[in-house]
Amino acid sequence: MTKATLNHPTKEANHQYDCEHIPVRVYEDSSLACQKIGDEIIDQINQKGANKPFVLGLATGSTPIKIYQHLIQAYKEGKVSFANVHSFNLDEYFPMDPKSIHSYVEFMHKNFFDHTDMPKENIHIPDGTIAPDEIDHYCKSYEESIQSLGGIDIQLLGIGRTGHIGFNEPGSAIHSKTRRVWLDPITRKDAASSFFGEQFVPKQAITMGVDTIMKAKKVYLMAWGEGKSNIIARTVEGAISEQVPATFLQQHNDCEFVLDKASASELSREKTPWLVETCHWDSEQIKKAVIWLARHCEKSILKLSREDYENNHLQSLLVAIDYEVYQLNYQVHESLLEAFDTWNSTKKTDAKNPSTALVFSPHPDDDVISMGGTFIQLVDNGFDVHVAYQTSGNIAVYDDEVIRFMQFCLDASPDQQPIADEYQKIVTAFAKKKVGDIDSLRIQELKGLIRKGEALAACRVCGVPENKAHFMSLPFYETGAVKKKPHTKKDVDLTVKLLRKVKPKKIFAAGDLSDPHGTHRVCLQVIFDAIDELKKAGDAWLKDTQVWLYRGAWQEWGVNVIEMAVSLSPKNVLRKREAIFKHQSQKDRAMFPGPDAREFWQRAEQRNTHTANQYNLLGLPEFEAVEGFVRYNP
C-alpha cells in the first residue's frame, strides 16, 4: 500500500453498471467528493440568478459537514452569495430544545448558517418544541412553505444503517409527508455516542416525508466509511422496498449516490468487478479474485480447478495468464504465506542492540485491543517497545468512576480535608450536570488520569516499562466534548518531537482510513504529517523505518490486502485479553460502544479468530488467531 493510495484521491468512478439501479460516483476520498458536490451547488445557485429563490434541502451530522465548510469558504472568497437561498432541513429530534447541543438548529447555525449571508427568515428547521396537538398543522405548513417556493432545487441526504433517509425509518411509505415519527432502535443506538448514552436519545423526531424528498429536483445521497457499505449495496443493487426507504430513490429522475471507496466496497463494481466489467488483471486483482473464488466454491485455493474458474465467470483471468491453473493457485497461496514470513523476518532483533518499535494508540486502549498480540510478541522478542497514547480518552469515562477514585483517595489520604473538599465539589458538579454538559478542566484531568492508570496497567501485562509509555494529550482532542477541533501544527510538532526522541525502526499506527471524522482518522493524519516534516528536514534515521497500519476495534484488514500477518498462540490470546481487562472504565459498558454491543475484548477475539479461520479455509495452517497489518510507505 503506497502513500498515494492513502492520501491522494483519484478521479471519480461514475460508469454505470447494469446491476446498479441508481447512478453512483465513487471517490477515493470524502474530502474531494464534498468539494465536487459543493462546487455543483455553487454553480446552480449562481445560474439561478440574484432575483430568484434557490431552495436547498439540508442534512445534518458528520456526512455533509465538509460540504458546508466548502460552501462557507466559497462565500468568504466571494464566489457565491446565499442572500436568495432558502433552506429546509430534513428533520429534528422531538422533543428538542433548539439551544441544546444535540439540536439540529444548533448544529446548522454553528456549522453553516452563522458563517454566510443567508437571511434568518429564509432558514427553516423542524421545530422540536411544537405542542403535540399542533404537530400535524405544523408539518402541513412546512410542506406548504416548500411548495410556495417552487420545491427543493437540491436535496442533500445521508443514509442510516436501517436505510432511512431523513428519519423515514423502515416501513415508511413512498407517499409519506412531513410528520412526527418513532425512531428505529438501531437509529437510536447509532446516535448514542452524541447523547452520552442511548437512554438519552429522543424516541421521536419530525421529518420530511419520502414524498417530499422525491419531489426535489436534484438529490445527492452521500455515504462515507465501511459502516455504510452493506446498506449502500442493498440500496443501489437491491429491490425497492419499504423496509429500505432509501431504495425509493431508484425511482427519482435525478438522484446520485456520492460515495468514498470504503462505503462503496460492497458494490459489485468494487467487490467483484470481474462480474460486471472487463477487468484489468494486475496482481492485486488476481489475488482478490482467486480468494473470492475459493470462498465461493468452499475450497482451499490449491484445490481450485479450471472448471471452477470457467463456471464462475473468471474465463478472462485464465485467458490473461500464460500458465496453468495450479501454478496460478500456488502463486496466490504463496503470496498469503508471505504475510506470515514478513512477520517472521520483522520480529527479529539484535539482543545486544535491540531495534526500537513505537506503537501509536489513538485512545489509551487501542494498542491492546487492536494489536495486543503483536505488542506482546514484540516485547517477548527483545524489541525496545514504546507506546504513544495520542489522546487522553477522557470523555469516555463515566462520572461515577471519578467519584469511585476520589473516594479511594479520601480513604487512603492521611490529610483528608483537602481531598474531602474537592470530593464534595465534584459530587455537587455532577449533581447539577445535564446530559452533554462539558466537565470542568479538573474533572477532565481526573478522567484522563483514570485512563492513564489503566493504560500503564496494560503496559505492565505486556511487559513495557512505565517510562516507555508516552501520554501525548494531543490538543485537537482536548475539548471536553464529543466534537473535536481540527488538528493543527501543535499536534504535529508534539508527534515530531516524540519520533525524534525515540527514533523507532518500526512504527505501528491505527490505519482506520475509512473514518473521515473520528479520532482515529485525525490521529493517523497527524502521524503522516509528522513523517512528512521529518522527511523534509532530512532526518536520516527515518530512511529505514517501517510503518505498519493496524485497524480499530470494529474491522480487520481483508486477507487479500494483509501484508504482514501475526499469528497468536492460545497463551497470547489470553494475555491480550488480560491487557484489555486492565481498562476497567471501558469494560462491561463502554461510553461509546458504537453499533456493536459486545465488549471490546469479545470483538477483538472474534475478529482475530475470524481472520485465522479465513486463512484456514483458504488452505493455510490453522492458527488460533491472527492480527493483520498493511504497510505504509512514507
In a domain, 423, yes or no: no
pLDDT digits (tens, 9 = 90+) for 175-217: 999 999 999 998 998 888 778 778 889 999 999 999 999 999 9
pLDDT reading at 14 higher than 60 = no
What's the pLDDT score for residue 336? Answer: 97
pLDDT reading at 5 higher than 70 = no
In a domain, 412, yes or no: no
Does residue 179 share a domain with residue 135? yes
Residue the block writes with cell 464529543: 482
Q: Count CB-CB contacts under 10 A for residue 186.
A: 15
The span from the CA of 488 to the CA of 498, in Å, is 16
What's the pLDDT score for residue 373? Answer: 97
pLDDT reading at 448 higher than 90 = yes
The span from the CA of 402 to the CA of 442, in Å, is 11
What's the pLDDT score for residue 587? Answer: 85
Does residue 265 share a domain with residue 324? no
pLDDT reading at 475 higher than 60 = yes
Going by the DSSP 8-state scheme, the letter that residue 284 receives in this structure is H
Ordered strands of the 506-510 beta sheet: 469-471, 384-389, 356-361, 506-510, 546-550, 625-632, 564-568
Task: Please state the rounded mean pLDDT for residues 368-383.
Answer: 96
Does residue 299 share a domain with residue 210? no
pLDDT digits (tens, 9 = 90+) for 333-369: 999 999 999 999 888 888 788 999 999 999 999 999 9
Does residue 222 share a domain with residue 121? yes
Does residue 381 share a domain with residue 324? no
Could you confirm whether 20 is annotated as catalytic? Answer: no
Does residue 323 share a domain with residue 228? no
Range of lowest pLDDT (381-385, 606-610, 630-634)? 630-634
Q: Count CB-CB contacts under 10 A for residue 448.
A: 21
What pLDDT band is residue 260 in, cutting at 50, 70 and 90?
very high
What's the pLDDT score for residue 9? Answer: 35
Does residue 565 share a domain with residue 443? yes
In a domain, 66, yes or no: yes
In a domain, 610, yes or no: yes
Residues 6+ apart with CB under 8 A from 86: 53, 54, 55, 56, 122, 123, 124, 149
Instruction: State which of 296, 312, 340 marks the end of a domain.
Output: 340
Are 429 and 443 in contact, with CB atoms under 8 Å apart? yes
Find the angle CA(262)-CA(263)-CA(267) to the nearest 5 degrees: 100
Are 263 and 223 in contact, with CB atoms under 8 Å apart? yes
- Which of 20, 28, 169, 454 is catalytic? The answer is 169
Extract the C-alpha cell encoding 592.
Answer: 461509546
In a domain, 440, yes or no: yes
Q: Count CB-CB contacts under 10 A for residue 177.
A: 15
The span from the CA of 412 to the CA of 178, in Å, is 59
Does residue 259 share a domain with residue 201? yes
For residue 126, CA distances in Å to 152, 205, 209 come to 16, 9, 12
What's the pLDDT score for residue 634? Answer: 75
The span from the CA of 307 to the CA of 315, in Å, is 10
Domain that holds residue 363: 352-397+433-632
Q: Residue 223, SS3?
A: strand
Query: Measured on CA atoms in the order 311, 314, 316, 320, is the torsion positive or negative?
Result: negative
Per-position DSSP letters for 501-545, written without gaps between them: HH--SEEEEE--TT-SSSHHHHHHHHHHHHHHHHHHHT-GGGGG-
What's the pLDDT score for residue 270? Answer: 94
CA nearest to 224, candidates 482, 36, 483, 31: 31
Q: What is the greatest pairwise CA distance in the chain?
A: 83
Number of continuous H segments (helices) and E segments (strands) in the chain: 21, 17
The span from the CA of 213 to the CA of 364, in Å, is 43
Extract the C-alpha cell encoding 242.
Answer: 419499504
pLDDT reading at 255 higher than 90 = yes
Average pLDDT in the chain = 92
What's the pLDDT score for residue 590? Answer: 66
Does residue 304 share a domain with residue 164? no
Q: How many domains does the chain have?
A: 3
Instruction: State which of 237, 270, 303 marks the end of a domain.
Output: 270
The span from the CA of 424 to the CA of 421, in Å, is 5
Instruction: State which of 270, 288, 304 marks the end of a domain.
Output: 270
Residues 6+ apart with CB under 8 A from 549: 1, 508, 509, 510, 511, 513, 524, 629, 630, 631, 632
Task: Please state the rounded mean pLDDT for residues 24-45.
Answer: 95
Q: What are phi and psi of 386, to 5 degrees?
A: -115, 150
The span from the CA of 587 to the CA of 575, in Å, is 16
What's the pLDDT score for residue 595? Answer: 64
What's the pLDDT score for residue 140? Answer: 97
**How would you classify residue 427: left for phi > 0, otherwise alpha for psi between -120 and 50, otherwise beta?**
alpha
Residue 98 belongs to domain with CATH number: 3.40.50.1360
Residues 6+ apart with CB under 8 A from 23: 14, 16, 255, 256, 257
pLDDT digits (tens, 9 = 90+) for 481-511: 777 788 999 999 999 999 999 999 999 999 9
What pLDDT band is residue 529 in, cutting at 50, 70 and 90?
very high
pLDDT reading at 513 higher than 70 = no
Does residue 522 share a domain with residue 445? yes
Q: Considering only residues 387 and 521, tell me which one the structure prediction assigns the higher pLDDT.
A: 387
Percent of the chain having pLDDT more than 70?
95
Q: Which residues of 39-66 are buried (b: 16+ CB within 10 A; e: fewer)?
A: bbbbebbeeeeeeeebbbbbbbebbbbb
Are 568 and 337 in contact, with CB atoms under 8 Å apart? no
What's the pLDDT score for residue 516? Answer: 47
pLDDT reading at 517 higher than 60 = no
Does residue 284 share a domain with residue 187? no
In a domain, 528, yes or no: yes
For residue 301, CA distances in Å to 292, 324, 333 come to 10, 14, 7
Residue 532 belongs to domain with CATH number: 3.40.50.10320
pLDDT reading at 561 higher than 60 = yes
Query: Measured on CA atoms in the order 573, 578, 580, 586, is the torsion positive or negative?
Result: positive
Going by the DSSP 8-state scheme, the letter that residue 20 receives in this structure is -
What's the pLDDT score for residue 136? Answer: 97
pLDDT reading at 548 higher than 70 = yes
Extract the C-alpha cell encoding 563.
Answer: 501484508
Q: What are phi and psi of 625, to 5 degrees?
A: -160, 155
Q: Count CB-CB contacts under 10 A for residue 537.
A: 10
Task: Please state the rounded mean pLDDT for residues 611-615.
Answer: 97
Task: Please state the rounded mean pLDDT for residues 582-590.
Answer: 85
Does residue 114 share a domain with residue 82? yes
- pTM attached to this predicted model: 0.88
In a domain, 505, yes or no: yes
pLDDT digits (tens, 9 = 90+) for 72-99: 999 999 999 999 999 999 999 999 999 9
What's the pLDDT score for residue 7? Answer: 33
Are 370 and 551 in contact, with CB atoms under 8 Å apart? yes
In a domain, 402, yes or no: no
pLDDT digits (tens, 9 = 90+) for 109-150: 999 999 999 999 999 999 999 999 999 999 999 999 999 999
Are 365 and 498 in contact, with CB atoms under 8 Å apart? no
Extract the C-alpha cell encoding 13.
Answer: 468512478
Going by the DSSP 8-state scheme, the letter that residue 434 receives in this structure is P
What's the pLDDT score for residue 415? Answer: 81
What's the pLDDT score for residue 593? Answer: 59
Are 612 and 624 in contact, with CB atoms under 8 Å apart? yes
